[in-house]
């Protein structure tokens, strides 16, 4: 799957070629030599399809390396006669997501590095102290079940002077982080793959989806496309699969003020906007409302991203610090305190 950075570059490249009124197939083949190897090969394949007579949107749909949503946006741009505007909208949203991804990765590096160092020191100290604690407990016939369990885990590893079992924790943490970094560069949708913890980024993604939908609808309505076709194309651009019959059911329920059909759940989080679009008859009011809707949700997305930039480093430090403290407490502080308590009662 093509990476977001490569998709941004391709959007800019095609938009520039369209502005210059150059034949896409010839220009893309010429420019493919200046692109990275993988992207250049994909662009040459795209040029071959265009030379065979396929439309740009059709050629993109047949290439599994491009997100299906990207082809839908291209198709909407072609039908509206504003391909450049559609490409610029894609590139703008992808840049916001790319910058957010880069910030997330940078913000997570320092807390994870500190956590790894502290956990490494903890592993050494815990391995050495645990043997001493267990000897003391056995000498005085004290029992602490979880210490004996740790002893069974650590016993085969004592010769290495470090608990390799404890080191599995940072290894897994770094493995998950690297896996997410790689996966976040690729997507089948024009959105960013986010761990569940990053709810601010997930909300920002949702608002960017709503913004993109409103912008595409506005562009298609201004080009004179019928409303049903406009909505079908707009839903495709945000990765929502909906049929004409389902839209007709939605329109019928709005016009007759009937309960929403079950298919309306597929339209989330855009069902309220679609209902409003169906209820407005004045095109001027409709376009003005869509512009305001897009600006509002773009502003909300930027606010979520700003909150993420402020709170993420703080939350990560507290979370990883809490894990380290809990580990030290269970392996060193509590056994030592419990030993003193037992000795004081002898």
* Predicted pLDDT at 345: 62
Cβ atoms of residues 103 and 112 within 8 Å:
no
* Predicted pLDDT at 16: 83
| 144 contact partners, CB below 8 Å, separation of at least 6 | 137, 335, 338
| Model confidence pTM above 0.75 | no
Look at residues 64, 57, 67 and name the one whose alpha carbon lies nearest to residue 97. 67
Measured between alpha carbons, how far is 344 from 333 in angstroms, rounded to an integer?
Answer: 17
Q: What count of other Cβ atoms lies within 10 Å of the Cβ of residue 346?
A: 6
Burial 134-158 (b: 16+ CB within 10 A, else e): beebeeeebebeebeebeeebeebe
**pLDDT average per 10 residues of sequence, the chain (346 residues):** 76 82 80 76 84 83 77 82 82 78 78 80 71 68 60 48 63 85 62 57 82 86 84 82 80 75 72 86 90 91 83 80 78 73 66
Output the DSSP codes for 134-176.
Answer: HHHHHHTT---HHHHHHHHHHGGGGGGTS-HHHHHHHHHHHHH
* Predicted pLDDT at 288: 93
Would you list the domain boundaries of the chain? 1-66, 67-346
* Predicted pLDDT at 187: 52
What Rg, from alpha-carbon coordinates, does the chain have?
28
* Predicted pLDDT at 162: 46
């Amino acid at each position: 799957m093509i990476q977001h950075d490569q998709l941004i570059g391709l959007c800019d490249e095609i938009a520039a070629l369209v502005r210059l009124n150059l034949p896409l197939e010839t220009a893309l083949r010429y420019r493919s030599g200046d692109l990275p190897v993988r992207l250049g090969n994909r662009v040459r394949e795209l040029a071959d399809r265009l030379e065979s007579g396929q439309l740009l949107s059709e050629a993109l749909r047949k290439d599994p390396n491009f997100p299906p949503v990207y082809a839908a946006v291209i198709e909407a741009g072609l039908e509206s006669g504003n391909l450049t505007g559609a490409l610029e909208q894609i590139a703008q949203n992808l840049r916001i997501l790319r910058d957010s991804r880069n910030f997330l990765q940078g913000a997570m590096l320092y807390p994870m590095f500190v956590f790894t160092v502290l956990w490494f020191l903890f592993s050494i100290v815990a391995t050495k102290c645990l043997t001493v604690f267990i000897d003391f407990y056995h000498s005085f016939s004290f029992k602490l079940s979880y210490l004996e369990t740790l002893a069974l885990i650590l016993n085969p590893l004592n010769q290495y002077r470090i608990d390799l079992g404890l080191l599995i924790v940072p290894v897994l943490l770094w493995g998950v982080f690297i896996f997410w970094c790689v996966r976040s560069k690729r997507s089948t949708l024009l959105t960013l793959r986010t761990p569940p913890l990053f709810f601010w980024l997930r909300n920002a993604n949702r608002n960017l989806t709503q913004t993109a939908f409103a912008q595409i609808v506005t562009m298609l309505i201004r080009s004179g496309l019928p409303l049903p076709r406009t909505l079908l194309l707009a839903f495709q651009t945000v990765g929502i699969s909906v049929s004409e019959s389902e839209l007709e059911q939605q329109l019928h329920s709005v016009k007759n003020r009937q309960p929403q059909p079950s298919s309306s759940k597929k339209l989330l989080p855009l069902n309220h906007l679609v209902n409003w679009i169906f209820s407005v008859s004045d095109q001027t009011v409709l376009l003005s409302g869509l512009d305001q809707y897009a600006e509002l949700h773009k502003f909300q997305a930027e606010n979520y991203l700003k909150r993420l930039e402020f709170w993420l480093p703080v939350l990560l430090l507290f979370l990883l610090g809490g894990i380290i403290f809990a580990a030290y407490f269970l392996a060193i502080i509590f056994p030592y305190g419990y030993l003193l308590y037992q000795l004081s009662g002898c």
